Amino acid sequence: MPKEKAVDEAFRALERAVELDKGEVGCTKNVAEVIKSYSRAVLLFEEVLKDEKEEQVCNLLSDKVLEFKGRIDELYARLPSAPLASVMEVGEALPVANLVLLQDEDEDELARKSSAEEKEGVRDSAHSSVEELDTKELDLRQEQRVRQRKLGHDAAAALSYALGLDEKLSESASRVPQESPKFKVLVEESKDVEESYLEAAQNYLASLKLMELSLESNNLASGAGSITAVKNRIAEILDRVEQLKARKFAPDNQQQQQQQQQQQQSHSQLQQNRKQLEGGTGKALSQREIDVLKRSSVIGRKTFMPFLDSDIRPANFSTLGLAPFEDPDGLLSLSNSQKSHFYKFARPSEIASRHSKHVCMYQNISPYTIKQTLVTDCSFIASLCISAAYERRFRKRLVTAIIYPQTSLGKPVYNECGKYIVKLWLNGVARRVIIDDRLPVDRNYNLLCSHTKSSTHVELWVSLLEKAFLKLTGAMSYAFPGSNSGIDLYCLTGWIPERLYFAGSAGLTGEHETKPEKIWQRLHSAFSYGDCLTTASVSPDISDSAADQVGLVTQHAYGVLDVREVRSGRFLFMKNPWASKAWKGRFSPHDISWNERIAKELHYDYEKARQCTDDGLFWICWDDFKRYFTSVHLNWNPHLFKYKYTAHDFWPKDKGPDNDKYCVDENPQFVLMPGKESMRKKASFYILLSRHVDLLEQQGVETNDFLTCFVYDSSKSLTKKITYPHEKLILRGVYSGNPHYLVRIDSSEEFPCMNLVIRQYKKRRDITFSLQVYSTESFSFGPMTVGQGSLQRIKGAFDPSGGPSGRSTAFHTNPQYRVVVKGDAGGGGERNVEFTIKANPKLCVSLSLLRGGGRKDYISTADEVFCSGDYRAGVACASGRLRLDTPYTLVVSTWNAGETGSFIIESAGKDIEIRALRMEGEGAKYKYKAEGTFASVGCANYGRYTENVSIDFTTANAGELFGRLTTKGRGVDNTPINFTLFQLSEGQHHLPPHASSIARDCGVVVSTNEGVYKSGGATIRATKVKAGCTYTIVVSTFEPTFNLGFEIKLYCSVELRGLGNKMLVRIK
């Protein structure tokens, strides 16, 4: 048939349908006739679409087809409420409405009517197919038609019977109390109703199979709408059966008890529902994660449970014939701009009645009909526009998939009971938001919330989605404090949010900025493949007056509906959610920049656009977009990634330091290990950190919670937490106050294991969060656990610090600890351990583990097992393997001697015994000290050894003596010194001239380092002294030295007497 004739027939069919629709449609039979007329129009328009090449015409016709199908769905919805309809009317109408292939007419009648119907403008493609069949095929077709006609009549009869029983049962149930004996009879009768409905559904299914077979054998596309209609009818029947099963005629209070029990069981169901909640591995949630989700489900005084499939059973949307549902959480409060126009909250049926319109969930999903009104949620409406554009363009359910109740085909429907559940994403998982359909209106019953522009219908999808969104994220109020479209798109779709900032005009790119060319490449490719939803925000740096001159609004969100790169340049098609105030700059409808070539490349009729009213839609070139828009929000389709894992965690304020600038080992950490195939293909990982929000933040209060995620290389220590924030760093995060922060990183064979460390700028309060990891290839992921045993903490203090070994003569005064790793009964072997010291960041600290188990004067290479390396501000960490049941010495120190401050030592490992060693001289009964400045004449090599500083004393009793010599002043660490104790014989008052530190014949009792001169200090080991003897201490340097400061300390078990030169004084 010629194209022009086909178009004429399609429009004539449409005119007839519209004419019937305007008439009286009170009875079911008339409704069925209207459905039949619209169905015929749909078939004809779909046929025209096959041959249409012009894009604009295709879009126009597609819109019409969607509009007709929406009206058909609405009309079908009037048939199912079956108990209120006439049994005979419905029974007669259904086969005609659903089986558009005219099952009441056989093949001969179809052949006779073919030419007549073609003259009347009703094209039936089945006729031509029948004429081409040979006799055998025609006989087969006729047999199928007869069977199909019989099944259709049987289905109609069964449905009529079921509807009659259902109506009678509903009337009786409303009058019979549960305790009455008749109640049991009603329960049994309800089973008969269910069986009758199921019989009707089975007959429709059998008829449906024959319809599909007929269409397939004749290659007919025009019957697709008929098949869809029958499927919808079957779905509605089965939905009614589910309602009856769930209903059981329970009274109101029992229904409420069931709902309360369901709510109480929801958290226990979470344990087995990770896969449903997050699309993850299916592994059960840990108790800690369940506690996190419980905590984040309560916002203010409202509870928003995670969404589960059990929430959307048909029975959950019925009020059992009682008054329409009213949300027990109450009505949303109004914004100031709404209050001045507000009249009442009205039901959709009231609004439609006042405007002589029909109520439906939607006619067709389109971004062009959405209008934001008096609610300041531009970011949400922009997000809704983009989602609608995606659904329209790719024919995939997105926003219509989250509104319930739905048919079995997943289409949301208008519920006369007024109860809806909306699935929205917040605080790590999809949430169940229960609402009613009471909406604010003015005195003329015009909606004061966002809605669609339709002259014939009150569409609910925009208003209900907005209401659910504001209930969840707007603190139960239309006075929305504002958000950004990336956050709102995530809430609406669950798609992964990312925010891109344009680099500065100077060409410099900060850590949080992206070069414009890279932004364009990602925008263009993502939009081409339908993997991404895009919105943009006007720069806050532009003044209101400057923005107004070009038709923009500062800090306002716009939807990006199209991204094009053509010969004439780069362009974006955008929408202001206000559905007004479009762009006035270059390439606005009235701008002179347009010409025929550019318009053709963009498929845009600017002449027509100039004649239309301002609808907020506009093209803008890439250069102007970069100038006026500061950031782009991208939301990525999570179904791009085959593999996903989600972790939920709690970060208390008192865990770790307030500022993690120096240490991150107490921060939440997670291990990410790409699989071999992932590393080979360099697969990408999208890591989404979502901070859970609370009521204060939803009310617009600034919480100043700035989180980020750093990625570290942990390939060499799979079980070791990251301690130092700047070492082994792969990717540096940027602190963000946005609830969502995305990290994108490619896997590499260079990093087979990575640590994800959550960091926070200046902790202020407890935080709960979710971490989601997406990838196209397999990976392992989970929280970091040391797995080496218990963690011990020991408090200590530098009082003061002795400084570092080799740089300070007071190193021996540093805190020291004896460490033993206890072995099993068998003994032997080694074990991994880790030690960390944490102190005030003003102190640069270090730790070393040495062999021995006793106090150490210095660190020797031979004794050192492992150390923390360079001195670091506030924290130092060291790890290694220690032999079991072997004593070691742990020494902590600061870079500068004499510093004071407290610290904590943490030991991680199995069966570690650690105890503080007593400070030098601690517990000694008598303590003495000598200090001063002297001129040393050098060792015995210079012939004047006995002229060095000496200190004489006698002992009253026998005992022990321990002594230490330290030097003070410039260059002391390089001055070799010695400290020797001599015993004088009876009657001897002076050392002989040939005395030296190694001359045993001169009465040497003990000498530091066995008489060898050494820099950095010297000690004499614990030495026994006799009662009533005289002793002399000689202090010397290897070479003559002048103006050298020194200090001697003696720790004794006996009292020293006759302190000849009075240099030695007793101390406490």
Q: Tell me: pLDDT of 647 over 90.
A: yes
Sign, Cα dihedral of 584, 589, 591, 593? positive
Contact call for residues 607 and 596 (beta carbons, < 8 A): no
Q: Tell me: pLDDT of 80 over 50.
A: no
What is the C-alpha to C-alpha distance for residues 636 and 216, in angstroms, rounded to an integer?
Answer: 38
Give the active site residue among 232, 273, 364, 378. 378
> 714 CB contacts (<8 Å, ≥6 apart)?
671, 720, 722, 728, 753, 754, 755
pLDDT the model gives residue 185: 63
What is the C-alpha to C-alpha distance for residues 78 and 1040, in angstroms, rounded to an integer?
Answer: 114
What angle, rounded to 10 degrees, do the helices at 3-22 and 28-51 form?
A: 160
Sequential DSSP letters for 416-427:
TT-EEEEEEEET
Written as six digits, the tokens of 586 are 């270059």
Give the pLDDT mean for 341-368.
91
What is the C-alpha to C-alpha distance for residues 577 and 535, in angstroms, rounded to an integer?
Answer: 11
Contact call for residues 721 and 757 (beta carbons, < 8 A): no
Residue 657 CB burial class (10 angstroms; 0-12, 13-18, ≥19):
middle
Q: What dihedral angle (degrees, nearest 10) is formed by the CA atoms of 496, 501, 507, 510?
A: -80
* Nearest residue to 492 via CA among 367, 574, 386, 632: 386
The answer to whether residue 427 is catalytic is no
Q: What φ, ψ does residue 62 adopt, rounded to 5°?
A: -60, -40
Contact call for residues 727 and 870 (beta carbons, < 8 A): no
How many CB atoms within 10 Å of residue 1008?
A: 23
Contact call for residues 348 and 460 (beta carbons, < 8 A): yes
- The C-alpha angle with vertex 592 and arms to 590 and 595, in degrees rounded to 5, equals 105
Lowest mean pLDDT among 143-152, 765-774, 793-802: 143-152
648 CB-side CA count, 13 A: 26
pLDDT the model gives residue 278: 47
Q: Using one digit for the tens of pLDDT, what is the confidence trace for 882-936?
A: 999 999 999 999 999 999 999 999 998 888 999 999 988 888 999 999 888 877 8
Q: Using one digit for the tens of pLDDT, what is the confidence trace for 141-162?
A: 566 666 666 666 667 667 766 7
Percent of the chain as helix, strand, coil, to the nearest 5: 35, 30, 35
The answer to whether residue 576 is catalytic is yes
Strand-pairing partners, residue 563, are 572
Lowest mean pLDDT among 56-65, 322-331, 433-442, 926-935: 56-65
Residue 447 CB burial class (10 angstroms; 0-12, 13-18, ≥19):
buried
Contact call for residues 492 and 469 (beta carbons, < 8 A): yes
What is the C-alpha to C-alpha distance for residues 3 and 5, in angstroms, rounded to an integer?
Answer: 5
The answer to whether residue 556 is catalytic is yes
Phi-psi region of 651 (alpha: psi -120 to 50; beta: other; left: phi over 0): beta
564 CB-side CA count, 13 A: 20
State the pLDDT confidence band at 225, using cuts at 50, 70 and 90: low
Q: Using one digit for the tens of pLDDT, what is the confidence trace for 962-983?
A: 998 888 765 556 788 998 999 9
Give the active site residue among 358, 451, 457, 556. 556
Contact call for residues 238 and 201 (beta carbons, < 8 A): yes
* Domains and their CATH numbers in the chain: 3-249 (no CATH), 262-493 (no CATH), 509-628 (3.90.70.10), 641-783 (2.60.120.380), 791-916 (2.60.120.380), 926-1067 (2.60.120.380)
- The C-alpha angle with vertex 119 and arms to 113 and 120, in degrees rounded to 5, equals 85
Give the active site residue among 576, 635, 637, 814. 576
* Nearest residue to 534 via CA among 393, 375, 642: 393
Q: Using one digit for the tens of pLDDT, what is the confidence trace for 463-516?
A: 999 999 999 886 788 888 777 888 889 999 999 999 888 876 444 445 567 888
